[in-house]
A and B are shown apart, each in its own frame.
Chain A
Amino acid sequence: MLEGLPGPLPDLDTQPFWDGCNEGRFLLPTCHDCGTVRWPPGPMCPACQSEQTDWVDWTGPGKVYSWTVVHHAAHPALAEQIPYIIALVEVAPSVRVLGNVIGCAPEDMRADMEVELFFEDAGEGEQLPNFRVPT
C-alpha cells in the first residue's frame, strides 16, 4: 500500500467490508432480496430499497475499466512514491472498485486487462485489498 495516507474510518454501514479485509476476504455488499451489487457499501439497496444485505465473497480476477498514472505528488507523503497507478476494476457488471495495480509498468496498462486481487498490510494490523498483474 502507498504509505503516509489516511486509512479508512469504518462506520456501521461499512464495518462488515473492512472486517472482511482483515480476514483476507473481499466482501461485496449484495442485496438479499434482488441481488443487486452496490458500491460503495451503504445501508440500502438503491434498486429495491431492501435493507437486507448479503456480504458475498469476491475473489477476482477483475477487469480494468479505467486508470490513471499519477505523476504529481498531491501530498508530501507521495513524493517518493510517484508514479503510481490507480485503476477502477470491474467486480460485477458495471460495478467497479478502486485500487492500485502493483507490478505493472504504466505503459503496459490496457483497458479490460485482467488483474488479480490480493491483500496488503496497511499497518496497525490492518489488511487492505489491492490488485496486481497475474503471475
Chain B
Amino acid sequence: MVKLRESIIFFTLLFVAGVLIYSYQNIQTIKETTVSKIESHEVGHLESFASNIQRHLQSSYNIKDATSLYDLMSDDATRERFEQSLGVILSKHIIYAYMLQMDSSGKFRFLLDASSEDKASFYEKFDAESELYRDVYEDKKARFKKQQGLKNIYITYAYPIVIDGETIALLSFDLSTELQYSILKQIAPLERFFIVLSIIVVIFLLISIIQFINYLITRKRIFIDPLTQVYNRSYLEEILTKLDLKNYSLALIDLDKFKLINDTYGHQAGDSMLREVASIIKASLRESDIFVRYGGEEFLLLIYTRGDAILAEEIANRVRKNISSKIFHINDHELKITVSMGLHASPSYEKNIQEAIKTADIALYRAKSNGRNRIEIFSESFKGDTHKEFVLECIKDAINLGKVLCHYQPVYDAKDKKIIKYEALVRIYNKEDRLVMPNEFLPYIKGTNLYYKITKRVLEIVINNIKTELKSISMNISFSDLMDSDIFEMITEHLQESHLPKNIITFEILESDEISNTQLFKERVLALQSLGAKISIDDFGSGYSNFRLVLDSEANYLKIDGDLIKNIDKNEKDFKVVDSIVHFAKNSHMKTIAEFVHSKEVYDKLIELGIDYMQGYYISPPKEHLASEDELFKN
C-alpha cells in the first residue's frame, strides 16, 4: 500500500528525470544552434565579400571567361593588387584567402593567394579539397565544409565566380579554429550553466533514488515480520485508513498448544514451525487476502469476500485443514499441530477494525474452549454475552498493562503466635482502576489462554515476592490447572529456574470432580513436592471431599472449607465435621488450616479444636504487602 508521500516522491523522480533529459538535449541543441548561427554569420560575411570581388572583376575588367581571368591574373602587378584586396579580409579568424581555377585536366590551381606566409606561386597546383571545389564548380553554389584534423583550419568556404552561367574560378577562404574557440567561448557560460544544472539534477536524482531505496528497505523492515516473512501488526495499522472492511471477513488464528512445541523442542523448533505454518496459510490464501502475524502464535486474516460469509468460512476451513493435515519434521520428530480460529464474517458492522478484532477474539476463545482445532464464527448471539466480553477485555488490558497484582492474607499459628505463611490472592485493576476480585473474572476465562497467562503472571509475582521478602507464600491452583500440561509445565519451569528455598512456596489445590486421571494427579503433586513446593488441599470438607485422593496425594496441609468454619461457634454440626477433619488430618500427618476466621468466637472455637493454623479477617484481611505480627488482630 503506497502512501501519498511515496507517490509524490516517485512522480517527482519522474519529473526530475524528464527535466534532466530535456536539459541535456537543450545543452546540445542550444550549442549546435548557437554555433550554427555564428558560423552562418561569418559565412554570410564572406559571401558578401566574395560577391563584391566577383562584381568588381566583371564590371572593372570585363572578364568573360576563364581564359580572360587567367590572362588578367598572369600579370604580376594586377595579381598583386587583387591579392591586396583579397587580403583585406584576413584576420585571426580567416587565415587563408585564395582564388583557384580548374585547368583542363581537372586540377585546381592558384590564381591568387592573399596569404603572406605559405604563399602559393601563380598557377601552382593545389591537391586539397578537390571534391568540395568540384561540387562548387559544377552546381555554381557557394558551400562550406567543416574540417576535421586540419591544423588550425575549422571551416573552408568556397564561392564560385560565375560569368555567363559558367564557373570560371572560385574563391576559397579557410576559417581558423580560433573562430570555433571563440564561438565555444561565447556559449561556454551557457553550457556550464546547463552542466551545473544537470549535475545538480543528477545529485538530486541520486539522493532521491537512495532515499527511495532506503524507504523500501525500511518499509520492508517495518512492515514485514522477519521470522515468517508475512506482514506484521504495523502493516495492519498502516492500511487501516484505506481498508474497506465491507469487502473482507476477519479471522484470528491461534496455534493450539504451541507452547508445548516451544518447551519440548526448543524455540528454534517453534520458530521453524511458525515459519512453516505461515507458509501454509499463505499458500491457502489468494492474492486479494491480507495475512498478518498478529502476535506470538496468532495470525490475522482479512479474507476478501465482498460479503460472502460462506466463502470466508470455506477459506478459513481450508487454512485449518491444510495445517492440521501437515506433518512437520522437527528435530527428527514428526509432529502435527492444529489451529483454532475465530471468524467474524462481517467486521464492517463493528465500529472499527479494533472492535472487529476483539469480536473475532471472543470467537477464537470460544473455539479454544470448545476443544480447539475448530472455527467459531461470530454470531449475534455472542453479542448477548456483553458482560463476558467486557470481562475478557478487562483481563486482557490488565495483563497487557501490568495491572495484575496479589494481595496477601497471613496464615497464623495461634500456638506460637506467629505468621507461618501468606496466601496470595489475585486481583486486577480495571480501566477505571477499580480493584476487581477473582470471583468476578476467573469463571469467564477458565480453559482459555487468558487463564494460562494470568496464572503465569501470579506465579511470577509470588516468586518475586518470595525472593524479595524470603517469606513463605502460597498460591491457589485448581485440580484442572494441575492437569493442564501447559500450566503444569509453566509452573515446573518457573520453579526450576527460580531456585527458591525448599518448602517456601505452597500450592493450594482446590479439589473438584474434574479429576478423572487420579494417577496423573498424584504424580504431578509429587513432582511439585520434589521441586521443593508444599501442597495444600484447599476448601476441604465441602463439595467432593475425596478422602482417598487427599490421603494418596500426601499433601502437607489440609485447608478446611470456610463454610464449615464461619459459623462454627453457633453450629454444632459444623463443629463436629471440623472436629472429624482435624482428627483425620492429624492421623494423616497433615497440618490443618482454617479460613474465614472472622471473629474472636470462631477463633476460640478453633483453638479448642486444636486447629494448627488460621486465617481470616479477624486475624488480618488480605493486604497489598506481607503484614507483620504487629499488624494482626486490629479489626
Same assembly: no
